């Protein structure tokens, strides 16, 4: 989604949102990532204005204090940006790909099932389809991408063919580099 | 305060580690463990070595031994690997590209005695076009705006006969724009 994303061309508008909307976004994020509860005040202080950056295709990026925090697409689930995910690594379920897949993930490819089931890969918990997941890599500490499951983890293991995780955001993509001024 | 309540109830929520000491590479911006996939590996290594030797040893265990050799010989003298060659070629190409960038200040006749100035290519030098347009407008007391040209890139249109003044102003305001890369031309619109 962010493979070719440049703030200059793709941002269609940014606006400070009403405090009621701000509260709504905040509660939605907390509902999705309950582990963030103790830290939310640090991430998005109630007093500071929240800026919603609107991009093409109904993509919204939540920005507080010039820092991009979360984004969502078509009113779907909120995803943290990878910078935030690196800071709070355990807020979302994780899958791990093998070493061979890293190269392709870093150029924006969707993750195929074999990359998730082979030896270096790992799926610890059972997750239903459409779950946002963090993508880790074999031998690495930090997440390298964010995605959405296109199959349940059960199916990934049993079918083992085709796209398992649709890639949403990965390190070194447009959003990773994006700097947006308020 | 509600904050204290939040903290009191924190046990109910799943916990997460909080990492605050992640080192991002100064060259490729990735977490250092992913430098090997960034395509600028040698530069990244150099950067990390200068910054944090312990972390360097941890991230690049294979390179650790050669590091000492490098120090003896000189960093850049290490045998050129394929990747290094590639990166160097890329850098050379970029330098070439940079030299080829042109800032064109074009005077376009509109009606008799009236003209506009088109400034194109300013964005190549890392200038915010909107701010530049505003600057021109205030300096020359005339209309100035950013418009898309047929090639799809952005131009600044200044409504006034101020070609030479813009030339001087650009040189004064943005020292990164070299004088020999500015081109003054005249032309007709459409």
Q: Is the pLDDT of residue A106 over 60?
A: yes
Q: Bigger pLDDT: B58 or A148?
A: A148
Quick: pLDDT tens for A45-78: 888 889 998 888 888 889 888 888 999 888 888 9
DSSP state of B179: G
B contacts of A43 (beta carbons < 8 Å): none
Task: Please measure the distance between the N-terminal and C-terminal CA atoms of chain B and give it in whole angstroms.
Answer: 66
Q: Bigger pLDDT: B151 or A20?
A: A20
- Is A181 within the bounds of a domain? no
My answer on whether A24 and A47 are in the same domain is: yes
pLDDT-based confidence at B9, cuts 50/70/90?
Answer: very low
Least confident of A3-17, A24-38, B74-88, B138-152: B74-88
Domains of chain A: total: 2
CATH number at residue A45: 3.10.400.20
Lookup: tokens for A101: 């897949």
Quick: pLDDT tens for A154-171: 888 888 888 989 999 998
Q: Where are the domains of chain B?
A: 17-97, 101-188
CA A109 vs CA A142, A144, A147, A156: distances in Å: 18, 12, 11, 17
pLDDT-based confidence at B108, cuts 50/70/90?
Answer: confident
Mean pLDDT score, A133-146: 89
Among B23, B24, B34, B58, which would you mutate to test the A interface (most chain A Cβ atoms within 10 Å of its Cβ)? B34
Nearest to B16 by CA among A86, A147, A145: A86
Q: What is the ipTM of this complex?
A: 0.76
Quick: pLDDT tens for B33-57: 888 887 777 778 888 888 888 888 8
Q: Is the pLDDT of residue B118 over 70?
A: yes
My answer on whether A76 and A102 are in the same domain is: no
My answer on whether A74 and A120 are in the same domain is: no
Range of the domain at A72: 7-80
Report the alpha-carbon distance of residue B59 to residue B10 in Å, rounded: 35
Q: Is the pLDDT of residue A121 over 60?
A: yes
Give the chain B residue nearest A139 (alpha carbons).
B33
- Is A177 within the bounds of a domain? no
Report the alpha-carbon distance of residue B77 to residue B190 in Å, rounded: 55
Looking at residue B12, what is its pLDDT? 65
CB within 8 Å: A103 and B37? yes
My answer on whether A131 and A162 are in the same domain is: yes
Most confident of A30-34, B59-63, B88-92, B160-164: A30-34
Q: Is the pLDDT of residue B77 over 70?
A: no
Cα A21 vs. chain centroid, distance in angstroms?
21
- Superfamily of B101-188 according to CATH: SUI1-like domain (3.30.780.10)
Nearest to B38 among A39, A87, A172 (CB): A172
Q: Which among A58, A80, A102 is the end of a domain?
A: A80
Contact B25, B31 (CB under 8 A): yes
My answer on whether A30 and A75 are in the same domain is: yes
My answer on whether A60 and A18 are in the same domain is: yes
CB within 8 Å: B29 and A176? yes
Number of helices followed by number of strands (H, E) in chain B:
7, 5
Chain B nearest-CA distance from A113, in A, is 22
Q: Please state, rounded to an integer, the average pLDDT across all residues of chain A.
A: 87
Which residues 23-42 on chain B approach chain A with CB closer than 8 angstroms? 28-31, 33-34, 37-38
């Amino acid at each position: 989604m962010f493979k070719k994303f440049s703030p200059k061309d793709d941002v269609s508008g940014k606006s400070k949102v009403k405090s009621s909307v701000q509260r709504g976004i905040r509660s939605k994020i907390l509902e999705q990532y309950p582990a963030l509860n103790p830290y939310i005040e640090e991430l998005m202080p109630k007093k500071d204005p929240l800026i919603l950056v609107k991009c093409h295709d109904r993509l919204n990026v939540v920005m507080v204090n010039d820092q991009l925090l979360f984004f969502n697409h078509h009113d779907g689930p909120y995803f943290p940006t990878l910078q935030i995910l690196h800071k709070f690594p355990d807020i979302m379920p994780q899958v791990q790909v093998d070493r061979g897949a890293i190269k392709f993930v870093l150029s924006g490819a969707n993750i195929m099932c074999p990359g998730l089931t082979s030896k270096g890969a790992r799926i610890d918990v059972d997750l239903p389809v459409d779950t946002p997941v963090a993508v880790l890599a074999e031998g690495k500490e930090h997440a390298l991408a964010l995605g959405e499951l296109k199959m349940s983890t059960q199916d990934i293991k049993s079918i083992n063919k085709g796209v398992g995780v649709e890639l949403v955001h990965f390190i070194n993509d447009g959003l990773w580099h994006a700097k947006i001024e308020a | 305060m509600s904050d204290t309540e939040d903290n009191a109830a924190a046990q109910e929520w799943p916990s997460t580690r909080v990492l605050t000491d992640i080192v991002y590479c100064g060259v490729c911006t990735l977490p250092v463990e992913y430098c090997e996939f960034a395509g600028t590996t040698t530069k990244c290594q150099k950067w990390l070595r200068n910054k944090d030797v312990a972390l360097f040893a941890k991230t690049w265990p294979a390179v650790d031994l050669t590091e000492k050799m490098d120090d003896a010989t000189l960093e850049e003298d290490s045998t050129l690997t394929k990747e290094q060659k590639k990166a160097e070629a890329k850098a050379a190409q970029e330098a070439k590209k940079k030299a080829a960038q042109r800032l064109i200040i074009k005077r376009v006749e509109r009606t008799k005695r009236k003209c506009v100035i088109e400034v194109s290519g300013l964005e190549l030098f890392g200038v915010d076009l909107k701010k530049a347009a505003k600057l021109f407008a205030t300096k020359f007391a005339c209309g100035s705006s950013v418009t898309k040209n047929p090639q799809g890139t952005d131009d600044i249109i200044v409504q006034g006969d101020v070609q030479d003044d813009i030339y001087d102003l650009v040189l004064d305001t943005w020292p990164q724009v070299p004088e020999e890369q500015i081109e003054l031309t005249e032309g007709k619109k459409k």
